[in-house]
Structure formats: structure tokens, C-alpha cells
Amino acid sequence: MPRRRDVDGQRERLSAATWAVLAEQGLGGLTLRAVAERAGCTTGLLMHTFADKRALLLHARTLLHERAARRADAAESAAPDPAGRLRAVLLRAACLTPADREDARVWVAFLAAAASDAELARAHRENNRVFVRRVERLLGEAHPDLPRVQRAARARGLVALVEGLNALAAADPATYPARAQTTAIEEAVRAATS
């Protein structure tokens, strides 16, 4: 009797390998061969699941978005009040731990690739806008009297702060340690909600 392939397990191994190669070697190191070697399979098997490098990148971005959304949901549900929920979500999105720096390196690699690829750029915009909408909603809950136009502008500013800190901390954690990032985010939340 022929063996059935463990498609989900195979995809999970390939996803983990893609993630690891991007985090360790960046965009320049992301090749089908590098991912296949990391996953312990052939490039043929890899290409059966992901047709090309773009497909690998899109999958990595989807994983990053899903992971970030789960973390944001958990941070939001654990916070005691509206301002606390906003603060918790922004801090959870920040690059405060070595694992967060790995996520940030994957995000930066994806963003670099998206700069010259319309499909990757579209995926980035869609995922970023989901985060902006969440922050805008939380800001509205924390500061209900804030006019919608100001709320939208402040939400974009908060997201830009966090994502800018992530990019900088991914490359230079000594200059942007967790404490400095936390202080910047907390001050920004206080300013945005006052």
C-alpha cells in the first residue's frame, strides 16, 4: 500500500525552514536550495509545495501576520482597561526579545523584497492596514472624544513608531534595547491618549 504524504507536516517543516533561513541569512540567503537543505528535503519536494521564492516570501509573511495577530489578541484580552489594551498591543508588537528580533528580521527581509515586487507590496499593505485598524480602534476606545481624523493620524504614527523601532532593533539591538523601545512606546501612548 503506498504511503500517504504528511502534507501538513511537510508544509510546517518547510515553513519553519523558510522562517529560519530568512531570520538567519536575510533576503539574500533565501534560496530554494537553502530552504530545502534546512528542511532536510530536496528542492523538488520544496517546489511541489512552493513554486518559487515569491511563494516562500508570501508564506513567511502570512505566518508573521498570523503570529502577530494571535499575540495582539492575547495582549488585548489580558489588559484591564482601554489605554492598557492599546499599550499592551503596541508593546507586544515591539521587538523586545530575541524571538521578537527574529520576527523583525523576517519582516525586514519581506519588506525589502516588497519594495520591488507589486504582489509582495500588496500583501504588506493589507497586513499593515489590519494592524493600523486595530490600533485606531484601541485608540478610539482609550480616547473616545478624539475626532476620527486625529485618531487615524495618531494610529498611523503609533504603528510607524513600533515598526520603525522593530526595523532598527533588528539590526542594532544595542542602540535600541527593550527598555528604550518600551519607554518610547509608553510615552507615545500617553501623548496619543491625552
Confidence tier at 5 by pLDDT (50, 70, 90): low
**CA separation (Å) from 6 to 50, 76, 91, 130?**
16, 35, 37, 32
User: Per residue, what are the HEC states of 34-91?
Assistant: HHHHHHCCCHHHHHHHCCCHHHHHHHHHHHHHHHHHHHHHHHHHHCCCHHHHHHHHHH
Confidence tier at 28 by pLDDT (50, 70, 90): confident
**What is residue 4's predicted lDDT score, i.e. its pLDDT?**
53
pTM: 0.88
**What is residue 9's predicted lDDT score, i.e. its pLDDT?**
77
Encode pLDDT of 29-88 as tens digits. 989 999 999 999 999 988 888 888 888 888 888 888 888 999 999 999 999 999 999 999
Residue 44's identity, in one-letter code, is: G
Q: Yes or no: say if 74 and 35 are a contact pair by the CB < 8 Å rule.
A: no
Encode pLDDT of 60-76 as tens digits. 888 888 889 999 999 99
The C-alpha cell 537553502 sits at 34
Domains of the chain listed by start with CATH number: 1-51 (1.10.10.60), 54-193 (1.10.357.10)
